Amino acid sequence: MFRLMRLKPPHGWNAVAWELAVVTLGVVIALGAQQTVQAMSDRDTASATRAEITDELNSNLMNLALRQAAEPCVQRRLNDLRAIVTEWAKTGSFATPKWVSQAPIILVELSRYEAAQSAGRLAFLSGDEQYRMGAIATRLRKFNEWQMAERVPWGRLRALQFGAASLSKNDQSEIRSALQDASTFDYMAKVNIAEALPMARKFGFRPDATAFRETAPQGWAGGKFRPSICASIDTPPEEANRRVVVPLPM
């Protein structure tokens, strides 16, 4: 008959248990160290992501603040144009404006936010932070869409600079429609800004002019924000265009 063999470690079972404990402890320490390193890396990623997105959002909020500062000029010009269109409808003519201009355009740039979103780095931030940043980014995108869209009606409105004799009844209808579109886009932009800036302050964001000061000389003469629409409607185009680096198309 076969006899069961009883295994007996050379140094006894206590020694085996001790060795297993040492190995297990080593594995636990290694895993703990790995988790600690990963946690530190995640914190660094979160910190860098938070800093770069905050900087980008604050820079873009400055664009909203600049548009808000130019709103009195936009409103004055829209009122000037309403008076012209009304006179045209009543008399069949109007005093030809020299400078219709357009609402100022200051592009919103969200490439850092979008890159972090695509790479999944926003997930390293808390849910509350993601919500706050996303809410502001959404407002900025809508503002940018509206200011891009309003270029079209303002371009049509500049046809008034050709004078009533050069325009047809069809032109009159299109210009009236363009004036309504320009007014609507401006209204939406104003509402957006009126909501976005207080929301941003509540969420801990503030308009920052640093980036604008660096790029302003590329768009504004002397690097100073002086919207050409703030020039009088009777200003000669060549004089009004001195305010910008790239002259406004007529």
Per-domain residue ranges for the chain?
A: 13-243
Residue type, 148: M
Reply yes or no on whether the pLDDT at 78 is more than 80: yes
Whole-number percent of the chain with pLDDT over 70: 85
Question: What pLDDT does residue 84 have?
Answer: 98
What pTM, to 2 d.p., does this model score? 0.82
How many other CB atoms sit within 10 Å of the CB of residue 233? Answer: 20
Contact assessment for residue 76 and residue 84, using Cβ atoms and an 8 Å cutoff = no
Q: What's the CA gap between 45 and 51, in Å, rounded? A: 10
pLDDT confidence band for 114 (50 / 70 / 90): very high
Reply yes or no on whether the pLDDT at 5 is more than 60: no
Q: What's the CA gap between 146 and 185, in Å, rounded? A: 6
